[in-house]
Structure 1
């Protein structure tokens, strides 16, 4: 599918009522939005496949859904820091922030560097991007040991007092996902949540309470990462 064909496809799906609904229901406010749901964009991206050149053209189209498509079509291994900086500075709501952070940035070789860097940013959605990458990386990386994820706890505590809605939700999200990796990190995440609960800010109290509610559930689904099977070469024929 060419650039013009893709744009034509997007305009065929244009729905002004969905723009209003997304704003009222989910707080998604976007410039030049056509009103297309995420599931429809996923179908388009699947049909086209990964295509870096087209993805960049769509991002630069000025159409909100074109930018969302970029996050689904660009190859994570080809992401560069200049592109990440260009894209993160354009984020205007949680939807596009999370689409890039989860689907693209967390799978790139710069994921850990951007977690450390962007969680210190002033901009609400740039900071959220750092924590969204963190939350997603906790599920994407299935082989790293606990020590890698424990280094995120001081960052979470440092930013737990940020009262902005989409920052505190992302901080909470990251803490919960770390606590879902395995039983050891679950215990440590619970300890951190109790520490945060002692902070004076309303955001910290919300983060701590909400995280504890989920992390202490008896039926909470938990992974058992890292899932690495070590086999001796001598055991191949056993």
Structure 2
């Protein structure tokens, strides 16, 4: 039985017993890197994480394994209050999959590592840059008590990188813009204004981001909900 006393090696051995080659094949269709994957579903990984509980030192060890599921488990069992910016940077150096990025972004937001957002946005690596915008999206949604000014201060980053045509970046930039706009009425107007401006851009990628975001943000259902 996996529990708080289980070592990283114990947990990896347990994950190996859950291996599914059929699932590995299926994951590849969703753009998940399967080179070091065991084919374990995210709900099953979260179930293991609940049994194991948080253990930061063990999470660091799990990450070093290079196994997809062990790294997801590391992100689920790391202790946000103990996570340092340097550790987050080290993990970001290994990012090679959107699902790892999005899970890590939630942890980084919970850890309060906002200073990394602009740093990651300026990084040319596709998955590191995605992390910045996944963090913005997560903060806009989950930080209910955060001043709106903090959230709106990230709009210039969205504008600055709206022209990045790489699939996992442009989708994250779009996600961040929509998430800010859906936060509340105070955030809605500036986000919609940026979406409309991007929709008129001569750049193809920025235009797609703007049009897609504006379509959702100007929707009657959202406007009724925000009011």
TM-score by length of 2: 0.92
**What is the SS of the residue equivalent to 1:119?**
helix
1:141 aligns with 2:143: yes
Which structure is larger by alpha-carbon Rg, 1 or 2?
A: 1
Say whether residues 1:12 and 2:27 are aligned partners: no
Distance of 2:15 and 2:226 partners within structure 1: 38
The answer on whether the counterparts of 2:85 and 2:116 sit within 8 Å (CA) in structure 1 is no
1:19-168 equivalence runs, <5 A? 19-24=24-29, 26-102=30-106, 104-110=107-113, 112-168=114-170
Q: Aligned pairs, how many?
A: 221
**Counterpart Cα distance in 1 of 2:219 and 2:212:** 11
Structure 1 residue 30, shift from structure 2 partner: 3.6
Change (3 A) 1:145 1:37: same
Q: Flag the 1:141–1:32 CA change in 2: closer, same or farther, 3 A.
A: same
Alignment of 1:129-208 (within 5 A): 129-208=131-210
Give the CA deviation at 1:223.
6.5
Q: CA deviation at 1:144?
A: 2.5
Q: Which runs of 5+ in 1 are unaligned?
A: 225-238
CA distance in 2, matches of 1:8, 1:207: 43
User: 1:188: Cα distance to partner?
Assistant: 1.4
Structure 2 unaligned blocks of 5 or more: none
Runs of 4+ in 1 over 3 A off after TM superposition: 221-224
Quote the RMSD (CA, aligned, Å): 1.5
* Equivalent residues of 2:27, 2:34 under 8 A apart: no
Name the stretch that deviates more: 193-202 or 126-135: 193-202
Q: For residues 187-215 of structure 1, give each alpha carbon's deviation from its aligned partner in whole angstroms, at most 9, with x where no partner exists.
A: 21111001111112221111111111211
Distance 1:62 1:155 in 2: 31
Per-residue displacement from partner, 1:98-140 (whole Å, max 9, x unpaired)? 11111x1011132x20112111110000000011111101122
